C-alpha cells in the first residue's frame, strides 16, 4: 500500500490532519484546497482528550499546548446567573488520559499547516474542485475550476459540510439540514486580565444561549445562539446590534464581550448538520470529516472527530494490504456508529437549549441542577474514548 498515491480534496482540519497522518506512515500524499490560503472560519475550539491523543500522535500537541488554555471546568449558568451544575474537565482528562485545550481556530490551523509544511506535504491552494467522475477503469477523476484534472489511487473528500462535492458524488445528494438556530461566534481580547480561571461558562436562557471559552486571562472565544425558524440575512454591520438586542440584560460579562469584540472578529452562522449516512465511499473515493459526519457545534466534537478520522484512516491503510475499497469499507464500519451517536446527541442538546417555551426551560434548568455531573463525566469519557487506545493509565 505504501506505493499508493493519495490526493486529498479540502485543506481544513480533516484534510490536513489526514495528510499528516498518512505522510507519517510513508504514503505519497498531496492536498487540494479551493482558498488562496489556509481557512480559519469559526472562532475557536476545544481539543478534547480524544483530539489531544491524535494531535500527540501527529507530533503537534506540544505546539498546541503553548498557545492554548487548559480549561478546568465547564459551568452551566442560567441567564440570571443561577448555577446549574458544573462539569469537572480535569476529571474528564484523567479518565481519558490526555488534556483538554482551548485554542483559537487560526492558531490551530497555523500549527497544522506548519506541520504539513515540515513534512513536505504539497498543499495546492486555489484549487476548487468542481466535479468528480469515474473513468473507464472506475477511478474517480477530480476536476478543478482552474482546468486541472487529477487521478490518484485513492481520493479523500474532505470538503466540509455545506457544499461537499465528495458527499454529492457518494450519496447522490447533499442537502445539509438547517437545525433552526443561529450562532454568532467571535474572539474577545483585552489588555487587563478578565478571566480569573480558565473555565468554560455556558449560559442558558429561553431559546438563547451564550458560551464563553477562555484561552488565557485576557483572551476568549465565544458563541451566542438563538432559535430562528427561518434562514435570514447576514449583514456584518448589524451583528453587534443583533447580539446586544438579545443579550444586553444577561450577566455583565456578556454585553461587555459583545461590545468589545471588533465587528470584523464576529461571524454569523445559520447552523446546519447532516443526517448520519451509512455509505462513505464509492470506488476509490472516501469522504471524511464534516463531509461524512457533520455534527452540530453543541457536540463540541466536529473537529475532534475529523482528527480521529485522520488517525484511523492512516492506520487502516498501513495495516491492510487489500484494495483501497475494502479499507474504505472497514473505515466506515469503524467510524460510523460513533459519529452518528455524536450527531444525534448534539441534535438532542440543541433542541433542549434552543427550546423557546419558558416552562420547558425552567424544567430543563432544574434537571441540570439535579444532574450528577461526576457520572456524566464518566459517560463522556467512555463515549469520546471509544475506538481509541486511550484511558487513565496514559495521563
Residues lying near ligand FAD in the complex (CB under 6 A) are found at: 9-15, 32-35, 39, 42, 45-46, 128-129, 158-160, 163, 165, 183, 185, 269, 289-290, 297, 300-304, 306
For the chain, the first-to-last Cα distance in angstroms comes to 34
User: What residues have CB less than 8 Å from 149, skipping those under 6 apart?
Assistant: 141, 142, 143
Comparing CB distances to ligand FAD, the nearer of 128 and 318 is: 128
Q: What's the closest the beta carbon of residue 303 comes to ligand FAD, in angstroms?
A: 3
Q: How far is the CB of 159 from ligand FAD (least distance, A)?
A: 4
Q: Quick one: 1 or 346, whose CB is closer to ligand FAD?
A: 346
Nearer to ligand FAD, 240 or 320 (CB): 240
Comparing CB distances to ligand FAD, the nearer of 1 and 18 is 18
d(CA 129, CA 146): 9
Residues 6 or more apart in contact with residue 212 via CB below 8 angstroms: 188, 200, 201, 203, 220, 222, 253, 254, 257
Q: Measured from the CB atom, is 159 or 208 closer to ligand FAD?
A: 159
DSSP string, 301-314: -HHHHHHHHHHHHH
| CB 358, min distance to ligand FAD, A | 26
Alpha helices in the chain (DSSP H): 13-24, 49-57, 61-66, 89-96, 105-118, 165-171, 239-247, 253-260, 302-319, 324-353, 358-370, 373-385
Q: Which is nearer to ligand FAD, 14 or 215 (CB)?
A: 14
Nearest approach in angstroms of CB 302 to ligand FAD is 2
User: What is the spatial distance between Cα 384 and Cα 292, in angstroms, rounded to a whole number?
Assistant: 18
User: Measured from the CB atom, is 163 or 363 closer to ligand FAD?
Assistant: 163
Q: How many Å is the Cα radius of gyration of the chain? A: 21
CA 345 to CA 296: how far, in whole Å?
Answer: 9
Indicate if the alpha-carbon torsion angle 387, 389, 392, 395 is positive or negative.
negative
Q: How far is the CB of 366 from ligand FAD (least distance, A)?
A: 27
Least distance to ligand FAD, CB of residue 44, Å = 7
CB 72 within 8 A of CB 360: no
| Closest distance to ligand FAD from the beta carbon of 4 (Å) | 21
User: Sign of dihedral through CA atoms 99, 102, 107, 113?
Assistant: positive
* β-pair type (219-227, 177-189): antiparallel
CB 225 to ligand FAD: min, Å: 9
- CB-nearer residue toward ligand FAD: 82 or 232: 232
Question: CA 43, CA 49: separation in Å to the nearest integer?
Answer: 20
Write the burial class of residue 75 (CB in 10 Å: 0-12 exposed, 13-18 middle, 19+ buried): middle
Q: Which three cell numbers stand for residue 326?
A: 475494502
Q: Residue 314 Cβ, how far from ligand FAD at the closest point, in Å?
A: 15
Kindly tell me which of 54 and 304 has the beta carbon lying closer to ligand FAD: 304
Print the SS3 string covering 64-76: HHHCCECCCEEEE
Least Å distance, CB 147 to ligand FAD, is: 14
Residues 6 or more apart in contact with residue 238 via CB below 8 angstroms: none
Residue with Cβ nearer ligand FAD (11 or 214)? 11
Amino acid at each position: 500500500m505504501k506505493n499508493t498515491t493519495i490526493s486529498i480534496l479540502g485543506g481544513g482540519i480533516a484534510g490536513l490532519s489526514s495528510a499528516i497522518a498518512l505522510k507519517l506512515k510513508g504514503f505519497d500524499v498531496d492536498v487540494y484546497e479551493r482558498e488562496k490560503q489556509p481557512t480559519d472560519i469559526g472562532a475557536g475550539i476545544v481539543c478534547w482528550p480524544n483530539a489531544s491523543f491524535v494531535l500527540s500522535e501527529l507530533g503537534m500537541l506540544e505546539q498546541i499546548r503553548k498557545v492554548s488554555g487548559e480549561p478546568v471546568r465547564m459551568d452551566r449558568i442560567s441567564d440570571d446567573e443561577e448555577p446549574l451544575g458544573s462539569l469537572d474537565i480535569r476529571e474528564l482528562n484523567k479518565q481519558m488520559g490526555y488534556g483538554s485545550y482551548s485554542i483559537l481556530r487560526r492558531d490551530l490551523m497555523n500549527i497544522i499547516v506548519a506541520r504539513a509544511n515540515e513534512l513536505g506535504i504539497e498543499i495546492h491552494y486555489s484549487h476548487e474542485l468542481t466535479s468528480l467522475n469515474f473513468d473507464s477503469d472506475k477511478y474517480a477523476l477530480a476536476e478543478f475550476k482552474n482546468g486541472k484534472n487529477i487521478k490518484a489511487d485513492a481520493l479523500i473528500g474532505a470538503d466540509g459540510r455545506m457544499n461537499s462535492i465528495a458527499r454529492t458524488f457518494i450519496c447522490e445528494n447533499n442537502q445539509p439540514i438547517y437545525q433552526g438556530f443561529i450562532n454568532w461566534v467571535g474572539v474577545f481580547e483585552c489588555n487587563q486580565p478578565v478571566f480569573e480561571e480558565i473555565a468554560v461558562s455556558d449560559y442558558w436562557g429561553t431559546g438563547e444561549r451564550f458560551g464563553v471559552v477562555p484561552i488565557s486571562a485576557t483572551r476568549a472565544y465565544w458563541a451566542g445562539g438563538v432559535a430562528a425558524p427561518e434562514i435570514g440575512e447576514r449583514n456584518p454591520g448589524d451583528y453587534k446590534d443583533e447580539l446586544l438586542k438579545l443579550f444586553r440584560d444577561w450577566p455583565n460579562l456578556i454585553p461587555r464581550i459583545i461590545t468589545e469584540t471588533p465587528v470584523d472578529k464576529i461571524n454569523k452562522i445559520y447552523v446546519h448538520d447532516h443526517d448520519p449516512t451509512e455509505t462513505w465511499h464509492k470506488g476509490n473515493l472516501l469522504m471524511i470529516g464534516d463531509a461524512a459526519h457533520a455534527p452540530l457545534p453543541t457536540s463540541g466534537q466536529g473537529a475532534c472527530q475529523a482528527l480521529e478520522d485522520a488517525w484511523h484512516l492512516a492506520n487502516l491503510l498501513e495495516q491492510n494490504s487489500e484494495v483501497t475499497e475494502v479499507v474504505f469499507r472497514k473505515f466506515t464500519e469503524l467510524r460510523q456508529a460513533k459519529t452518528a451517536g455524536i450527531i444525534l446527541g448534539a441534535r438532542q442538546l440543541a433542541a433542549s437549549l434552543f427550546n423557546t417555551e419558558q416552562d420547558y426551560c425552567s424544567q430543563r434548568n432544574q434537571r441540570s441542577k439535579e444532574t450528577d455531573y461526576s457520572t456524566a463525566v464518566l459517560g463522556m469519557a467512555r463515549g469520546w474514548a471509544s475506538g481509541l487506545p486511550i484511558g487513565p493509565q496514559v495521563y
